[in-house]
Amino acid sequence: MVNEHEVSTAALAYLGDSVIELCVREYLVELGITDSKRLNETARNYVRADAQAEAVKNILPMLDETESAFFRRGRNIGHTNTPKSATVSQYRAATGMETLFGYLHIMGRRERICELFSVAYKINSGESE
């Protein structure tokens, strides 16, 4: 088992990026979208830094002390290349979210990942896709 404190923040963010991507893909398939072009186009609406920055605002009040610490750890990582489609602030928040999801994945907390993903993107409220 991996010790979450021994994994670099960059590695947690890298892993978390794929965890969020998988959550998005599962959600879109569950919606019944079958066209690969539409799946890819729709997925981008969830995984862009600006979208993640908005989504993470919805879950910040729900985070426990440890989860908040991992979010901050990711948010505060030194960023050298920010995408043109996002501000530095948005990119930092998105990296924090990715780090949090990477941490949760390493800890085997699939149920918590699903819970936070649903709240982040307002999946059960009818406001998402």
- What does the block give as tokens for 65? 């002390």
Amino acid occupying residue 81: N
Neighbouring CB atoms inside 10 A of 15's CB total 20
d(CA 77, CA 96): 8
Residue 33 to residue 119: CA distance in whole angstroms: 21
What CA–CA distance (Å, rounded) separates 31 from 104?
25
Give the C-alpha separation, 93 to 58, whole Å: 12
User: Catalytic site residue 17?
Assistant: yes
Can you tell me which residue has the tokens 């602030």?
89
* Catalytic residue (one of 17, 35, 50, 64): 17
Positions annotated as catalytic residues are 17
